[in-house]
Structures are given as structure tokens and as C-alpha cells.
Structure 1
Amino acid sequence: MQPFSLIKYGFRIRTRAGLVLDKLMIHGRDHEEAQRKLRQMYRDCEILECVAHHGSVRTPVNTNCKDVPSTILR
């Protein structure tokens, strides 16, 4: 059995009441698991941004196809 590593994901969300929350840090094996945990705590929230933290390296996570061109151009 291989040990799995948890990755820390930083989310920026808008709650259903309209409040914007920055720097919500959630651990997960992958983006989908971290997003599932987030949605358990903040139902009906809108995810504005997601960044994966691998040690000191931060990598933006693309949540939809519209973000792909802007990520490539960086």
C-alpha cells in the first residue's frame, strides 16, 4: 500500500450571502476532493479562484475552460 500525499489548496470563494472569503486552505488528495470538502462547509458557494500549494510553489488550478488561455499566457 502506497502512502498518499495531501496537497493544500487555497480557495477564494463568494458565499451564498455574497461575502467574499480569501485564503481558505483545505487539504485533499486532488482538486476534486478539496472542492468536495469545501462544498460540504460552504453550500452553494461560487469558487472564484483555486491555487494548489506544493511546498513553497503555488500553482493555479483551472476550474473551467475559460481560464486556460490566461494561464498559458502567464
Structure 2
Amino acid sequence: MQKFDFSILTRDGQKVESIVIAGNNEADAERKLRMMYRYCEIVSCNAKDAGDGKNQQVMSVEDILSLISK
């Protein structure tokens, strides 16, 4: 699932920046955004790199238990 970074103007005219929403595509993320912010105006939308878990650190059970026991 991809993440999208939205900047919007609410119906009251307030600017809200950096709303990150996950979606299968941009249309899906925009649909979810409009459920939360009805009648908003989208100023910008940028796709964020999800990273696909390549930068995540993997820990074994032994590593976790040694952290807990310290």
C-alpha cells in the first residue's frame, strides 16, 4: 500500500499541511481524505516512498529478550 502526503484547504479556509494517508492508489487515498475533510480543496498531493521494509531493522527473539532483561 502506498502513502500519499496531502496539503489541503478546509471549507473554512484553514490550510492543513502534511496529511499522510495510505491507499492502493491516489484516488483511493483521496476518497479516504474526503471522508475526513468534506468539501476540502486539495492544494497538493505527493506520493511518499513506502520503503517496502528495506530500512526496517529485524530483531530476533533473543535480541528482544536481552533488551528487556537489561
Q: Deviations over 1:7-48 (max 9, x none)?
A: 010000000000000000000000000000000000000000
- Report the structure, 1 or 2, having the larger strand content: 1
Q: Unaligned stretches of 5+ in structure 2? A: 52-70
Aligned pair count? 51
TM-score w.r.t. the length of structure 2 is: 0.70
TM-score w.r.t. the length of structure 1 is: 0.66
Larger Rg: 2
- Report the structure, 1 or 2, having the larger helix content: 2
Q: Unaligned stretches of 5+ in structure 1? A: 1-5, 57-74
Identity of aligned residues (%): 41
Please provide the CA RMSD for this pair.
1.0
Higher relative contact order (CA 8 A, sep 6+): 2
